[in-house]
Structure 1
Amino acid sequence: MTTRPPGLMISAPSSGTGKTTVMLGLLRALAEDGLKVQPFKSGPDYIDPAFHRAAAGRPSFNFDTWAMNPTLIGGVADQSTGADIVIAEGSMGLFDGVATRGETGFGSSAETALKMGWPVVLVIDVGGQAQSAAATALGFKSYNPDVPFAGVILNRCASPRHERLARLGMDHAGVKVLGVLPRRGDLALPERHLGLIQASEHPDLEAAIAGYATFLRDNVDLDAIRDAAASGPAQSGALPKPPAQRIAMAQDAAFSFTYPHLVEGWRAAGAVIMPFSPLADEAPDADADLVWLPGGYPELHAGKLAAATRYQAALRDHALSKPVHGECGGYMALGEALIDKDGTRHQMAGLLGLVTSYEKRKFHLGYRQATLNAPMLGFEAGAKLRGHEFHYSTILQEPDAPLAQVGDADGNPVPETGSVKGNVTGTFFHLIAEAS
């Protein structure tokens, strides 16, 4: 049985430790050394893969053990073909997942690392502690001994003395130190309410990534990291088939959250993706079989979307005879109105009766499992889907027929059922995969 390129999982005890900075710097530094570096993201994240692509020069794809069956995981892993090394970024803490098992597991980064055979590089914030950080590292190393463990990168180290003490603790615990990053206040990426801003919006992304690479090169043992990479045996896989042959997909600053494995699978199966920009008042291609509005930040551009009359008219014409689907932000844009954070009401496409508001934010986060009441994106009524929801809008009205019966990761019903009206469908969850 063949093996895939050797890889590593960059993870941490929790969010906010600096693992994204380490990830981007490592991707770029290895690429500068002449390696073909394949990035991945473990977990349901719409934003990080675009940053990975900017750093590595190769598309990044999501792994998700809760939402994806083994065949799809294999298909995602196949995207590393031709790479010299794989670097994957975890989400939240290494062992964080949900309580109820999904398609392949509970959704943790540790599960992805174990399944793919990638040793874990744990990024630990040593601010406010010294030798005690070793107890954290030792706990993560021993919590599941089956998960391969490469070592730690100590982040936000205050001084040479601080480094000596932290290293002393790691030596005592038998944990390998792969690097020590001095504390710097200029390394944080800009954020907004869904996490990082989009890569396309960063004021100087190339300079930032180049700076991270220099910082990693100066403070991390890149040779040791390369030597630690490993991989398990390859498993056969496949990506999802397209819902239509010609797909008009909204792509601009308002609509940009698409899971790369979906689009790659559609293209690989021969579908034609025809991008258009609602913000530029562009109409979707009249020959499209399907119009798809992905998620994003329509609330930041609601005035421009309301004024985009050419786009809205073409959308309505298409919906008379052919399907239109929106996810999260795209769903909001298909609705009757969107109220921004200042309380201003903006008229949307009006294909659905949904009205959402950001004046009073309400946090919606988590995995979703859905059983369709009506066809959607090539799936028949009765199909079971898995996805993820993440937004801050308040739903003021959702009057149309419910598109699906929707529950959380544990199967508890949630009220955000999505909507269907004629040829138009919308969901608050982002589709990841069909359930097996």
Structure 2
Amino acid sequence: MPAGLVISAPASGVGKTTLTLALARAWRHRGLNVQCFKSGPDYIDPAFHAAATGRASVNVDSWAMDRATIEHLVSRGTDADIVLAEGSMGLFDGVAARGVSGTGATADIAEMLGWPVVLVIDPSGQAQTTAAIAAGLRDYRPGVRLAGVVLNRVASPRHEDLVRRALHDIGIPMFGALPRHAEISLPKRHLGLVQAEEQAEIGKLIDEAARFVVEHVDLDAVLRAAAVWSPQAAANGLNVTPPGQRVALARDAAFSFVYPHMLEAWRAAGAEISTFSPLADEAPDASADVCWLPGGYPELHAGKIAASARFCSGLRAFAETRPVHGECGGYMVLGTALTDADGVRHEMAGLLGLETSFAKRRMHLGYRLAALAAPMPGHQAGARLRGHEFHYSTILAQPDTPLAVVHDATGAVIAETGSRRGQATGTFFHLIAEDR
């Protein structure tokens, strides 16, 4: 039977992803089957997990998904030896209002599945206070169990010893301490880590992280701390209708933000997915019955997209007879124009009137609950869709008919309603699940 652990931290940016990847690759080198998951709405980390383990990773999200859906998704770990769920932000960080089965906090997943938590703590600028932080996290929520701590970026052996003694005094195991090691830092950009598929040396980077962690962390102790887990063979808990029988999906460095569980659910429901690259000036498959443009980084490639005549003309021709939908960056490309960070305005496909600009960045971040005022591919008018929005664009114009009434996690109505015009629809949020 597999054993489960959650990798979490007091905050973002302390090394959760690096430790998760290193543990996964190190155990894989020992011959273990490792299954990873990502808690929360992150579409970048699962690709890193897959690179480390050789197995597809998916998101589990307590705000957007019910327990049956989460149990269905994690049941793919039934044949694994060890299951690692990487958290997002800090262990207890979520939204103020409860969603479907929780607030979106990593702690919700840890308690729901009964998996102990390995805390990654950066003790920079402190010593014994690290133990106080660990103790506070251990005691904050009774249903969440703390397995132990891994320190990251310790300054010296003396620094490590001070923290180790303090943790020992309060009964919290310390599995290891990682000195600063710039060579295994994962490159970042404004929406998080640079995507795994954009890094040619990702395998070597993960191997180096695994070697480093094996040298400084007691992997056997971490493995013993995992909870033996007896997952039930879950029925299909996904409430997902594919957007069409044959889906033309934009897929390249500018269009890559799509949740793996959504694509799996489409295929499981019988949909066929054909991919095309707008950056390579490819048009959607003419035999498809719907075109889907995910989010990504169109702002980094706006000039190339605007110059891709075959893509733009093919997309417009497709939209004359069949539905086209865009999420976030894909929505921006369906619009009239996109102004990049240098203030250069680029003409986009023009299927919608949306105009966006990155010249003056404004962060839009958070869960979204949308009640559709009109149909969109895969969903009827009146459907309640749960998703997540994260981008830095400013809306200059959104003149078309609103697609939905959209609320944030507190219930407040927001201005990012999405749009519809003819066969084209778009949303700023990335779809995670539909309410049952």
Q: Quick check: TM above 0.5? A: yes
Confirm whether residue 199 of structure 1 aligns to residue 199 of structure 2: no
The counterpart of 2:75, out of the listed 62, 78, 83, is: 78
Q: Letter of the 2:265 partner, please give it.
A: G
User: How much does 1:269 deviate?
Assistant: 2.1
SS at match of 1:213: helix
User: How much does 1:389 deviate?
Assistant: 0.2
Aligned pairs for 1:262-411 within 5 A: 262-411=262-411
Q: Is the 8 A contact 1:115 1:232 kept in 2?
A: no
Q: Is the 8 A contact 1:28 1:55 kept in 2?
A: yes
SS at match of 1:186: helix
Q: Letter of the 2:251 partner, please give it.
A: Q
SS at match of 1:279: helix
SS at match of 2:267: helix
1:138-196 residue CA offsets vs partner (Å, 9 max, x unmatched):
11111112112211101111111111111100011100111111122333211111111
> Where does structure 2 lack aligned partners over 5 or more consecutive residues?
none
Q: Is the 8 A contact 1:116 1:231 kept in 2?
A: no
Q: Give me the whole-angstrom Cα distance separating, in 1, the residues matched to 2:26 and 2:419.
A: 46
Q: Is the 8 A contact 1:388 1:430 kept in 2?
A: yes
Q: Is the 8 A contact 2:148 2:172 kept in 1?
A: yes
Q: Is the 8 A contact 1:337 1:356 kept in 2?
A: yes
User: How much does 1:203 deviate?
Assistant: 4.7
User: How much does 1:79 deviate?
Assistant: 2.2
Q: What is the TM-score when the length of structure 1 is the normalising length?
A: 0.97
Confirm whether residue 143 of structure 1 aligns to residue 143 of structure 2: no
Q: Tell me which residue corresponds to 1:129.
A: 126
**Greater Cα shift, 182-191 or 35-44:** 182-191
Q: What is the TM-score when the length of structure 2 is the normalising length?
A: 0.97
Q: Tell me which residue corresponds to 1:66.
A: 63
Confirm whether residue 177 of structure 1 aligns to residue 196 of structure 2: no
- Computed over aligned residues only, the root mean square deviation of the Cα atoms, in angstroms, reads 1.2
Q: Is the 8 A contact 2:2 2:230 kept in 1?
A: no
- Between the two proteins, the alignment pairs up a number of residues equal to 433
User: How much does 1:231 deviate?
Assistant: 4.7
1:82-139 residue CA offsets vs partner (Å, 9 max, x unmatched):
2221111000000000110100011100110111111100001111111221111111
**Greater Cα shift, 291-300 or 18-27:** 18-27
- Residues 400, 231 of structure 1: CA spacing in aligned structure 2 closer, same or farther, 3 A cutoff? farther
Percent same amino acid at aligned positions?
Answer: 61
Q: Letter of the 1:167 partner, please give it.
A: R
Q: Tell me which residue corresponds to 2:38.
A: 41
Q: Give me the whole-angstrom Cα distance separating, in 1, the residues matched to 2:200 and 2:432.
A: 30
Q: Letter of the 1:265 partner, please give it.
A: A
Q: Is the 8 A contact 2:303 2:346 kept in 1?
A: yes
> Where does structure 1 lack aligned partners over 5 or more consecutive residues?
none
Q: Is the 8 A contact 1:72 1:237 kept in 2?
A: no
SS at match of 2:368: strand
**Greater Cα shift, 392-401 or 312-321:** 312-321
Q: Tell me which residue corresponds to 1:23.
A: 20
Q: Tell me which residue corresponds to 2:249.
A: 249
Q: Is the 8 A contact 1:78 1:237 kept in 2?
A: no
